[in-house]
Structure 1
């Protein structure tokens, strides 16, 4: 007797990124959600198949495309598979610190957002968050992607960017670089950096840094940590100890970035300098 294919595969977790209440990945071949509400925003992208859903009693159908689906908190909705192939989705549940509930009406009017920049930012955020049970990627990176997702959602729902503070870009970038240099090992969150530099808006902070130095601040910090790990490895420290001493989560986290920056593994790099 042939094995039956499971009707659903689900993976969910809570990342340590302020504003994201839950990450939810699922594959459904035969499933129908009952009518329900969330107390968070649901930001969804499809990786395969088609889904049909109703939001505030109006039905919508969408297949894999450039659309981002945004379901507001407190509004009744459902969802169901359309074909035998079902669908695959990735969802971020965002709290009110990312989007206020007063923007829910605009989301009810246009839950399907055909916005390529927004889609690319959501995909970048998912990559930065990484899969469940894997070592977390650089938290600064995920926070940066979330800030740009938030900015794009505000533009689509409110017709403008969120209120921001700012200062001269070059001076701000220099101050952020000094702050990152002082916190290479222990790190700093994007919110902490923005507050310490005068409560500037996070996206303004990231753009200022990129304009000044040609790369985003999270990439700069990762590069500094890799450089520190290289020195420690050549001094004789083992890869696991060097990883934590340089500010990485663990050896696997270091290895993932080390290969990108150096072209070899930490262990091979360490052995290369020995007689």
Structure 2
């Protein structure tokens, strides 16, 4: 159920931020999905519990959460009356890709200064008229996030032993993910992908699901919803967006969009 959900999303005039999302979800729970962006999240009301890479985490109002690209996560309210959140989606190259593992290990920070800076940036972006201030505030936020992440990687790089078979499976899963990313609207058949990576289709599905916490088809659907969001924020009509993003029709888009975001595409871009 996601009745009463309120969502406002837009693409700001700020390099490095691909989307801003303000939302109130009285009852919506996110299914497991991924983004191709860094997700910087603060909660203004309530509290959120989520699984990231199959490990449970919680986010309260005093914290900042940084979710890395391409790592599966879900989300649900801790309290019965839901939660209110604000999100910045940062382009993947805004933070060092080599720090993704650190973000997976510790995605939450109790950092009042960082949270205040994120709050200030949201205010500037909502106003939309102070480009230099927005650029300056984003720069300070990214610098502080990098500092948190780098402190974490000062620990030994290998925290867990990984066998050779697991490493091979991770490579197979990574190559399939690259193929899915390269064929978001048109897709690729499992048989074709299996031939290209020289793996049995069943093994390919198992390796991908084990590595990313979801089957390949769910990952691709999430990427298509992400693509649809970008087209909608560009002002394209939902019927056209459905085709451009790889859905069968507008009804197909609506179903998956609502399942993931709690609102229809029309509500997503409503002023």
Name the TM-score class by shorter chain: 0.5 to 0.7
Cross-structure match for 2:113: 117
84, 87, 100: which one aligns with 2:96? 100
For 2:129, the equivalent position in structure 1 comes to 137
Alignment pair present for 1:149 and 2:141? yes
CA shift, 1:54, in A, is 0.3
- Aligned-pair CA distance for 1:81: 1.8
Partner of 1:73: 69
**Aligned equivalents of 2:145 and 2:58: distance in 1?**
21
> SS at the partner of 2:59?
strand
Give 2:82's aligned residue. 86
Equivalent in the alignment of 2:221: none
Count of aligned pairs between the two proteins: 151
How far has the Cα of 1:91 moved from its partner?
0.2
- Classify the secondary structure of the residue corresponding to 1:159: helix
C-alpha contact 2:40 2:67 (8 A) present in aligned 1: yes
Mapped to 2, the partners of 1:98 and 1:120 lie a distance apart of 20
1:166-245 aligned at under 5 Å gives the runs none
Which stretches of structure 1, 4 residues or longer, exceed 6 Å deviation after superposition?
none
**Is 1:35 aligned to residue 32 of structure 2?**
yes
**Larger Cα-atom Rg:** 1
Query: Paired residue for 2:256?
Result: none
In the alignment, which residue of structure 2 is the partner of 1:216?
Answer: none
SS at match of 1:153: helix
Residue 82 of structure 1: CA displacement? 2.3
- Larger helix percent: 2
> TM (normalized to structure 2)?
0.54
Greater relative contact order: 1 or 2 (C-alpha under 8 angstroms, separation 6 or more)? 2
Structure 1: segments with no counterpart, 5+ residues:
161-275
Across the aligned residues of Structure 1 and Structure 2, the Cα RMSD in angstroms comes to 1.6
- Give the C-alpha shift of residue 6 in structure 1: 4.1
Q: Deviations over 1:32-89 (max 9, x none)?
A: 111111100000000001111000000112332x210110001010001222210000
TM-score by length of 1: 0.53
Contact 2:77–2:83 (CA<8 Å) still a contact in 1? Answer: yes
- In the aligned structure 1, how far is the partner of 2:4 from the partner of 2:98? 37
Aligned to 1:49: 46
